[in-house]
Structure 1
Amino acid sequence: MALSVDIQKQLGDFRLEVRFEAGDETLALLGASGCGKSVTLKCVAGILTPDEGHIQLDGVTLYDSAARIDLPPQRRQVGYLFQQYALFPNMTVRQNIAAAVRDKSRRQTEVAEKLRQFRLEAVADQKPGQLSGGQQQRCALARILASEPRAILLDEPFSALDSYLKYQLELELADTLGGFPGTVLWVSHDRGEVFRNCRRVCVMDRGRSQPVTTLEELFRSPGTEAAARLSGCKNYADVRPAGDSVSLPDWGLTLSCGRPVPEGVCRIGIRAHHIRPAAPGGENCFACTVERVVEDVFSTIVLLRPEGAAPEAPLLRMELDKEAWQAVPDKGRLTVSAPPEAILLLGS
């Protein structure tokens, strides 16, 4: 594997325990704010030092606590795109790129090539404060690639941009990374961004990494509630396994899962778009009262209370096309279903 990370670090009350391997690919580190994604990148880049463990890139040990190896950032050949780009404010675009070129004999040629590649010729002699957000990002990427890195770390690359500019730059960044021969770590809390740009993902939750998985597997079988939330699931409940079914005390329901429920399952998740109006009497069908209806841009969100639910139980969220909701005859009480294959079985 191109990049191997197995590290621990204590920061006050926060403990980081991360383990993953990535090849020549774009691997996502997906997690909520404060889960340790940026700390992980800084440890890989050499900005922070782990307490123990090891980091290896293309067979070169960057950090090993047992062997007392800790290469400085400038020797790691790791390019880091910070959230705010970290350009040198008193240097021009041309000078920012030139500062990253290691071979002085090729500096002028390399800078000219990067200015052309990233469409920065017209602003080559301007300073970062004179650039748009998109131009700043292209300058930062040009500087990173001019340093000939073996890995690129992207820390929430679009967090500072508005939605239209973000979409355009995301396409440009994907094109740029498409020709990069090494490992890219893409840190994000945006599942859509990750789904569009990565094929594999490492979910992080409260400082701990979960096993690397494909994006398809994350959505089909997330395994933990943290992973399910990051994949967009909205409905959760405590369960008691019962063979091929689960009992949901809070909602007063028993639902078939269509397969044996493994030991260790303590919660289930149901995606809002898998809840559908249904005729009474079918598998996993149950009656609900409608508590609230919220009109979204392209869909209708319906908050439901199963008729056997405890008063303090969470409401069940259903999302339908607007036309489908309009076709529901009784908008105060209805029967819905949750297909067995749509029940996500979650551990702690």
Structure 2
Amino acid sequence: MGLIVDIRKELAGFELKVNFATQGEVLGFLGASGSGKSMTLRCIAGIESPDRGRIVLNGRVLFDSQKGINLPCRRRKVGYVFQNYALFPHLTVEENIGFGIGERKREDRQAIIKEMVTMIKLEGLEKRYPSQLSGGQQQRVALARALAAKPEVLLLDEPFSALDDYLRNHMVKQLTETLAGYSGATLFVSHNIEEVYRVCQSLILLSRGKIEGKGGTEEVFKAPSSLAAAQLTGCKNISPANYISPFKLEALAWGITLKTEIRLSRQVTHVGVRAHLIEAAAGEMKENVFRCRLNFISEGPSRISVYLAVEQDHQGQGSQLLEWEMTPQMWLAMKDQPQPWCLRIAPEDLIIF
């Protein structure tokens, strides 16, 4: 049971080719704009048709190009929350929610609407129109409308993209709580890395229609399977690498030698480290310690990116700056330390390609 998708569709400049199965979890799709994330959802919903392939939901065939099956949207039992929410401006909150319920007795409809309004915490606003609601309230109504139809799968297409950062964080928390009570599968599309990490149990990385990685969210972030996967999950430090020995490589872009935790293949091509995992080296630390000097910094409200020029092990090699991400408190403690600084990358934090 659950959702099984194996489809292909020609898009502008590339072919969308996705193959996955999921059930009873939140599956995230992470990728740049135009990578095929939303088109995948539209094909599942029946808004678009794949060129070929198959889509099966809880044993029901929604689409099968070989058998000529292509169920219309209304028969698919799919809930869809659009990026712009797509609420009907002339309908109130309760009318928008009721629109998705279908043919029911009046008392049954009212009971479902009341349940949904309570779930999204909009009691007292039932008679308001979308124009009288905040962005976060509109998003909640769109979610309630999708869930009111008791869908077997819920599709969320960048549901927070129109919200400011404060409201986005609040809605991520609320969505997580709401989905905890939903038994069907949920597909969550976003290009926001932190959002996907917080909401989704599993993850698919999509680049120009191709799946670059998939699996449990923590696993995909910890050990991305390709350079594209590492970049999509926010790895900012990636260097070409040369094999030296079974547990040692040379990071060519930084001109330093690094010891690894895993046994290396002679075919190693690149090494990466996430910016927040670099650390100041304590006096007794010897492995993977290198010296560097501050080049410049980029300050944000809660994180500071420090760009470092590495003093190379080998003369003439290495030219790429290393990015170290830290909190303002860490920066205050570090900025007046005499340079060059001694920093370290733990062997277990290296990403090997």
Alignment TM-score > 0.5, same fold: yes
8 Å CA contact 1:20–1:211 kept in 2: the answer is: no
> Gaps (5+ residues) in structure 2?
none
Is 1:314 matched with 2:324?
A: no
Aligned partner of 2:73 in structure 1 is 73
Aligned partner of 2:58 in structure 1 is 58
Aligned partner of 2:198 in structure 1 is 196
Is the deviation greater in 88-97 or in 172-181?
Answer: 88-97
Residue 276 of structure 1: which of 279, 302, 307 is its match? 279
8 Å CA contact 2:224–2:230 kept in 1: the answer is: yes
> What's the offset of the Cα at 1:280?
9.6
Share of identical aligned residues, percent?
A: 41
Is the deviation greater in 71-80 or in 197-206?
Answer: 197-206
> Gaps (5+ residues) in structure 1?
none
Aligned partner of 1:290 in structure 2 is 294
Residue 343 of structure 2: which of 318, 336, 342 is its match? 336
Aligned partner of 2:25 in structure 1 is 25
CA–CA distance in structure 2, aligned partners of residues 136 and 324 of structure 1: 39
Across the two proteins, how many residue pairs are aligned to each other?
346
Residues 292 and 109 from structure 1, CA distance in 2 versus in 1: closer, same or farther, beyond 3 angstroms? closer
> What's the offset of the Cα at 1:38?
0.7
> What's the offset of the Cα at 1:317?
1.1
Residue 259 of structure 2: which of 256, 260, 269 is its match? 256
Residues 148 and 320 from structure 1, CA distance in 2 versus in 1: closer, same or farther, beyond 3 angstroms? closer
Is 1:16 matched with 2:16?
A: yes
Aligned partner of 1:247 in structure 2 is 250
Residues 330 and 163 from structure 1, CA distance in 2 versus in 1: closer, same or farther, beyond 3 angstroms? closer
Look up the equivalent residue of 1:291 and give its one-letter code: N
Deviation string for 1:173-194 (max 9, x for gaps)? 2222111110001111222222
Residue 171 of structure 2: which of 162, 165, 169 is its match? 169
Q: Structure 2 matches for 1:44-123, cutoff 5 A? A: 44-105=44-105, 106-123=108-125
CA–CA distance in structure 2, aligned partners of residues 289 and 195 of structure 1: 32
Q: Structure 2 matches for 1:143-158, cutoff 5 A? A: 143-158=145-160
What TM-score do you get using the length of structure 1 for normalisation?
Answer: 0.90
> What's the offset of the Cα at 1:223?
2.0
Is the deviation greater in 197-206 or in 238-247?
Answer: 238-247
What TM-score do you get using the length of structure 2 for normalisation?
Answer: 0.89
Is the deviation greater in 289-298 or in 218-227?
Answer: 289-298
> What's the offset of the Cα at 1:57?
0.7
> What's the offset of the Cα at 1:220?
2.0
8 Å CA contact 1:31–1:203 kept in 2: the answer is: yes
- Report the RMSD for the aligned CA atoms in angstroms: 2.4
8 Å CA contact 2:213–2:226 kept in 1: the answer is: no
> What's the offset of the Cα at 1:197?
1.9
8 Å CA contact 2:296–2:307 kept in 1: the answer is: yes
> What's the offset of the Cα at 1:248?
2.5
Is the deviation greater in 130-139 or in 66-75?
Answer: 130-139
Look up the equivalent residue of 2:319 and give its one-letter code: A
